[in-house]
A and B are shown apart, each in its own frame.
Chain A
Amino acid sequence: MDAALLPLAPLVVVAGTTVVLILLDLLPPRTSKVHLGVVALVGIVATLVSALFLWGRAGRAFSGVVVLDNFALFFDVVICYAVALVLLLSLDYLRRNGMERGEYYILVLFATLGMLLMAHAADLIVIFLALELMSLSLYVLAGFFQARLTAAESAMKYFLLGAFATGFFVYGIALIYGAAGTTALDRVGAALGSATRDPLLLIGLGLLLVGFGFKISSVPFHMWAPDVYEGAPTSVAALIATGSKAAGFAGLLRVLLSTFRGAQPDWTALLWVLAVLTMTVGNVVAIAQSNLKRMLAYSSIAHVGYMLVGVVAGGPLGAGGVLFYLLVYSFATAGAFGVILLLERGRQEAVNQDDYGGLAARHPVLALTLALFLLSLIGMPPTAGFAGKFYLFGAAVRSGYIWLAVIAVLNSAVAAYYYLRVIVYMYMRDQEGVPTEPAPSFAGRLALGIALWGVFQLGLMPAPVLDLAQAAVAPLLR
Chain B
Amino acid sequence: MSKTVWLIPFFPLLGTLLNALFGRWIGRHAHWIAVPALGCSFLLSCAVFLKVWRGETFTGDLFPWIQAGAFTTAVTALVDPLSAVMLVAVTGVGFLIHLYSVGYMHGDSGYARYFAYLNLFVFSMVMLVLAGNFLVLYVFWEAVGLCSYLLIGFWYTRRSAADAGKKAFIVNRVGDTGFALGVMYLWVALGTLDYGAVFSRVGALSPATATVIALLLFLGACGKSAQLPLHVWLPDAMEGPTPVSALIHAATMVTAGVYMVARSHALFERSGVALDVVAWVGGITALFAATIGLAQTDIKRVLAYSTISQLGYMFVGVGVGAYAAGIFHLITHAFFKALLFLGAGSVIHALGGEQDLRKMGGLAPRMIPTTVTFLVGAAGLAGLPPFAGFFSKDEILASAYHRDQFWLWGLLLVGAFLTAVYIFRVVFLAFFGGPRMSKQIAQHVHESPLVMTFPLGALALLTAVAGVVGIPSAQGTAFARFLSPVLPLAEETGGHGALSAYALLILSVIVAVAGVLLAWLLYSSRPLSAEAIGRPRTWLHALVFNKYYVDELYGVLFVRPLLRIAGFCASAFDLGFVDGIVNGVGRLVVGWAGSMRRLQTGYVMNYALATLLGAVAIVGFFLSR
Contact = CB atoms under 8 A, between A and B. Distances in A.
A–B in direct contact per CB < 8 Å:
yes
Interface of A: 156-157, 160-161, 164-165, 168, 199, 202-203, 205-207, 209-210, 213-214, 219-221, 223-224, 226-227, 266, 269-270, 281, 284-289, 364-365, 368, 394, 414, 417, 461, 463-464, 466
A160 B589 contact: no
A466 B68 CA distance: 12
Interface in B19-77: 21, 24, 63-68
Contacts of A286: 593
Contact of B589 (A281, A394, A414, A463): A414
B570 to A, nearest CB: 22
A256 to B, nearest CB: 13
The secondary structure that dominates the A interface is: helix
B584 to A, nearest CB: 14
A315 to B, nearest CB: 14
Given A161-B611, A284-B596, A285-B596, A463 B65 contact: yes
Interface stretch (B279-287, B291-299, B456-464, B614-622): B614-622
B602 A207 contact: no
Contact of B64 (A161, A269, A364, A464): A464
8 contacts: A161-B604, A203-B622, A206-B621, A281-B596, A284-B589, A284-B592, A288-B590, A288-B597
Nearest to B23: A364
Q: Which of B68, B590, B600 has the most CB of A within 10 A?
A: B600
Contacts of A209: 618
B498 interface: no
B607 interface: yes
Given A164-B608, A266-B622, 16 more contacts: A160-B608, A164-B611, A206-B615, A210-B614, A219-B614, A220-B613, A220-B617, A224-B607, A285-B593, A288-B594, A288-B597, A289-B597, A414-B589, A417-B589, A463-B63, A464-B63
A63 B194 CA distance: 53
A205 B622 CA distance: 9
Nearest to A208: B618
Contacts, number: 98
A287 B593 CA distance: 6
A287 B21 contact: no
Nearest to A364: B24
A357 to B, nearest CB: 20
Nearest to A463: B64
Contacts of A287: 589-590, 593
Interface string B469-500: 00000000000000000000000000000000
Contacts of B623: 199, 202-203
Nearest to B620: A206
Contacts of B608: 160-161, 164
B580 to A, nearest CB: 18
A2 B65 CA distance: 42
Interface of B: 21, 24, 63-68, 586, 589-590, 592-594, 596-597, 600, 602, 604, 606-608, 610-611, 613-615, 617-619, 621-623, 625
Contacts of B602: 227
A260 B600 CA distance: 33
A65 to B, nearest CB: 27
A394 B68 contact: yes
Contacts of B604: 156-157, 160-161
A210 B622 CA distance: 13
B616 to A, nearest CB: 9
Contact of B596 (A157, A270, A288): A288
A220 B622 contact: no
Q: Is the interface of B mostly helix, strand, loop or mixed?
A: helix
Nearest to A207: B615
Contact of A223 (B63, B590, B610, B619): B610
A464 B64 CA distance: 8
B621 A270 contact: yes
Contacts of B622: 202-203, 205-206, 266, 270
Contacts of A210: 611, 614-615, 618
B593 A288 contact: yes
A464 B614 CA distance: 38
A221 B625 contact: no
A223 B67 contact: no
Nearest to A219: B614
Q: Which of A209, A227, A287 has the most CB of B within 10 A?
A: A287
Nearest to B601: A223
Contacts of A289: 597
A164 B625 CA distance: 27
B348 to A, nearest CB: 33
A161 B607 contact: yes
CB-based closest 6 A-B pairs: A288-B593, A220-B614, A287-B593, A223-B607, A206-B619, A202-B622
A284 to B, nearest CB: 5
A209 B620 CA distance: 13
B63 A461 contact: yes
B19 to A, nearest CB: 14
B611 to A, nearest CB: 5
B603 to A, nearest CB: 9
A368 B20 CA distance: 12
Contacts of A270: 618, 621-622
Contacts of A199: 623
Nearest to A203: B619
Contacts of B618: 206, 209-210, 270
B590 A221 contact: no
A210 B596 CA distance: 22
